[in-house]
Structure 1
Amino acid sequence: MIAFLVLSFLGAGTVGADRAVTFENPNPCAVEGSSVEFRCLYNYQNGQTVRKTEWYKGEFKNDVWIRVKLSDLASYRNRFEFIGDQQHDCSLALHDLQHSDTGYYYFRFDTDRFGWRSKTSVYLSVTELHVRLYPDTVRAGDSVSLQCNTSCHLSSTVWFKDGHPVSKPEFQAQAEDAGNYFCAVEGQESVQSEPVALDVQYPPLNVSVKVTYPDNLNESSSVNLTCSSSANPAAQNYTWFRRTASPSSGSSSIFQVGSGQVLSLPSMEVNHTGLYLCQARNTVGETNSTEVLLTISAKNYGLFHLGVTRNHTEITKELWSSFSLSQVILLIGVKVVILLLLTLVIIWAGRHIRIKNEEENDHDYENESTGV
């Protein structure tokens, strides 16, 4: 809204219709720390020459409303700039705005004949940017809304997270969305709000197992398995499992072998061979690590980290491949012995039945002979 401010003649107190100041915006609003311009034009009688221009701020002093030159106010030193001229442009720029800059501003100019000042003023409002997150603590997958509020209407606002632009103020939160958010007025991105933190809670991610053991591994050595993960809040519970193969059935079974972030396997033995995994848990959920195969050689008890398996078929193959040649031979030998024992039992049982039948048949024949 264009406001025409009537200029009063200081000396005689008369009003001249040809003397006026036009303000583009008599009620500007700007963000603290930014800059603002009072765009205006002034007119005067033809034939006069402007000798001096001045901007004032209205203040109460001893309960009296007075106008003080900006050049006389220490708080405005090096912060105000007259960007008009001594023709018709009376524009003023204020930089690095402070909350105390809120108030009324007046313009005055002097010609070679008279001096005039505006009766009305420009009222400047200096506001702050306030950021709010709804909600401020979420779980992965929840909806988040960013709001940038001020005490007056401003142009579009833009958002940043840890210094990087944010495309949308509403989104489904994921683990990577956690961080510090702030907003700014578009076109004045250097002036930013105070940051606010978004806390995104999520179950353990990237759960992994690290195996450590001495260089010279032997039967009495201790092997440590350490479980680590990324989680918010941090994982509070760790549970360890071991999967082993059943030579007789060719299947595998899994059972719990410990708890805590570190699983220690002291005095390594061949029966420690198996696929190990850890389960990390926090208040949001739980996640299993991939399985790590530990193989203990029967010859020198060497330890090898062979890789990761993801299905039952691969697990069975890995477990069977972990047996050494001597173990395989031993298993085959055991099976052969069992088969031989079963064969002998069957032969013995069959022979015993046959002899018994023969004895019963001989007894029946003798009875018949005796009867004759």
Structure 2
Amino acid sequence: MMTVILVILIIMPGLVSAGRSVTFENPNPCALRGSSVEFGCSYDYPDGETVHKTTWSKGGLKDGRWIRTNLSSLPSYGNRVEYLGDRQHNCSLVISDLQDNDTGYYYFRFDTNRYGWRSKGSVYLSLAGLTASVYPDSVTAGEKVTLQCSTTLQLLRPPNIVWFRDGQRVAKPEFQARAEDAGNYSCAFRGHESVTSDPVALNVLYAPVKVLVEVSHDDNLAEGSSVNLTCSSVANPAADSYTWYRRTGSPNSSLELVGSGQVLSLPSMEPSHTGHYLCRARNPLGEESSAELLLEMDETISHSLILRVGFAVKTAVLLMLPLVLVWVWKRRSAAED
């Protein structure tokens, strides 16, 4: 009797497993953080049985024991899991918005009207992030720049990748650097632009551009007025030298060096200060000049000032004349006496 029971126990597992199986299309998928992944899955069971329940679970250690927990009971998977399968032979599953704690082992189980069967194997999900690289990461304007995007598994082909600079789309992964190309670059899979890599910076070095001169002075620029000319530029590295020139003759006349530094001060305006001024900004990569700025005194104000001074002198003379005449008369009278 004992021999018969032993034979039955040995044969039973084989009888139960006959015709039952679970097959995973890719047992070791790797997906990007923030993206979605599909576990392709199929299952079989003996003819005549009916499937009434399917379950996906995740394996993990708890109190030193390996247990499988239904995904439906894990709050972190809420609204992120979609079962694409059926109760026939398809058991595919999609997990979206992948997070770091989604890595691990996943199992499938189905229950028929006669027996429950869980997969012997598992799907192990690993996550990878996109890595953006800029070669070289510091260039002089005009040099070639190459953008590369990769995961921990492979270098990704350009047609599958889109690039952003400071959040704006970049047309090509290779270009000749310009000043405006400096910024932070990130990459993403085409069709999944919301999941981007960490940004990487591109530094573009260039000679001064946009050299401008601003003038500040009293409300009326007349003789004796205080005038400041300020030079500004855009450069990388910043301009380390500013020189000032003045042209007093025709447009073809030579320039005269009149000062250095970012600010040229004229504390007391004189006629000799009039002319066309320009600033030249320089850094180790080159130099650039501003447009010429005409600085001239307001002759109307000067003439008005002269007239006011002349009128005041005449008025003073007229006021003093009677007093002088009285004084002369008194002196004469005293002499006659």
User: TM-score band, normalised by the shorter chain?
Assistant: 0.7 to 0.9
Deviation, 1:192, is 0.9
- Mapped partners of 1:297, 1:125: distance in 2: 77
Q: Provide the residue aligned with 1:364 in structure 2.
A: none
Matched, 1:139 2:143: no
Mapped contact 2:18–2:46 kept (Cα < 8 A): no
Residue by residue, what CA displacement relative to the aligned partner does 1:199-248 show, whole Å, maximum 9, x if unpaired? 212111111112222222221101221211111222232111112228xx
Residue by residue, what CA displacement relative to the aligned partner does 1:243-297 show, whole Å, maximum 9, x if unpaired? 2228xxx962322111222212232222112221111122332211122222336
1:92-131 matches, within 5 Å, as 92-131=93-132
Matched, 1:86 2:87: yes
Mapped contact 1:160–1:181 kept (Cα < 8 A): yes
- Mapped partners of 1:274, 1:268: distance in 2: 12
Q: Provide the residue aligned with 2:307 in structure 1.
A: none
Q: Provide the residue aligned with 2:13 in structure 1.
A: 13
Unaligned 5+ runs, structure 1: 1-10, 303-372
Q: Provide the residue aligned with 1:222 in structure 2.
A: 226
SS in 2 for 1:47: coil
1:203-222 matches, within 5 Å, as 203-222=207-226
- Mapped partners of 1:253, 1:151: distance in 2: 63
- Mapped partners of 1:150, 1:253: distance in 2: 61
Q: Provide the residue aligned with 2:56 in structure 1.
A: 55
Matched, 1:269 2:261: no
User: Amino acid of the residue matched to residue 297 of structure 2?
Assistant: I
Matched, 1:198 2:202: yes
Q: Provide the residue aligned with 1:170 in structure 2.
A: 174
Deviation, 1:176, is 0.8
Aligned length: 289
SS in 1 for 2:54: strand
User: Amino acid of the residue matched to residue 184 of structure 1?
Assistant: A
Q: Provide the residue aligned with 2:253 in structure 1.
A: 252
Mapped contact 1:228–1:261 kept (Cα < 8 A): yes
Residue by residue, what CA displacement relative to the aligned partner does 1:71-118 show, whole Å, maximum 9, x if unpaired? 343443443232322222211111221223222211110011111111
Q: Provide the residue aligned with 1:231 in structure 2.
A: 235
Q: Provide the residue aligned with 1:240 in structure 2.
A: 244
Mapped contact 1:56–1:67 kept (Cα < 8 A): yes
- Mapped partners of 1:243, 1:301: distance in 2: 23
Deviates more, 1:88-97 or 1:56-65: 56-65
Mapped contact 1:242–1:257 kept (Cα < 8 A): yes
- Mapped partners of 1:78, 1:253: distance in 2: 76
- Mapped partners of 2:45, 2:298: distance in 1: 104
Matched, 1:34 2:35: yes
- Mapped partners of 1:297, 1:51: distance in 2: 98
Q: What is the TM-score when the length of structure 2 is the normalising length?
A: 0.78
Q: Provide the residue aligned with 2:292 in structure 1.
A: 291
SS in 1 for 2:254: strand
Deviation, 1:59, is 2.3
Would the alpha carbon gap of residues 152 and 17 (structure 1) be closer, same or farther in structure 2, given more than 3 Å must change? farther
SS in 2 for 1:60: strand
Q: What is the TM-score when the length of structure 1 is the normalising length?
A: 0.71
Mapped contact 2:220–2:298 kept (Cα < 8 A): no
User: Amino acid of the residue matched to residue 167 of structure 1?
Assistant: A
Q: Provide the residue aligned with 1:358 in structure 2.
A: none
Q: Provide the residue aligned with 1:184 in structure 2.
A: 188
SS in 2 for 1:252: coil
- Mapped partners of 1:207, 1:18: distance in 2: 81
Deviation, 1:16, is 4.3
Deviation, 1:62, is 5.1
Mapped contact 2:221–2:298 kept (Cα < 8 A): no
SS in 2 for 1:109: strand
- Mapped partners of 1:198, 1:251: distance in 2: 42
- Mapped partners of 2:58, 2:126: distance in 1: 13
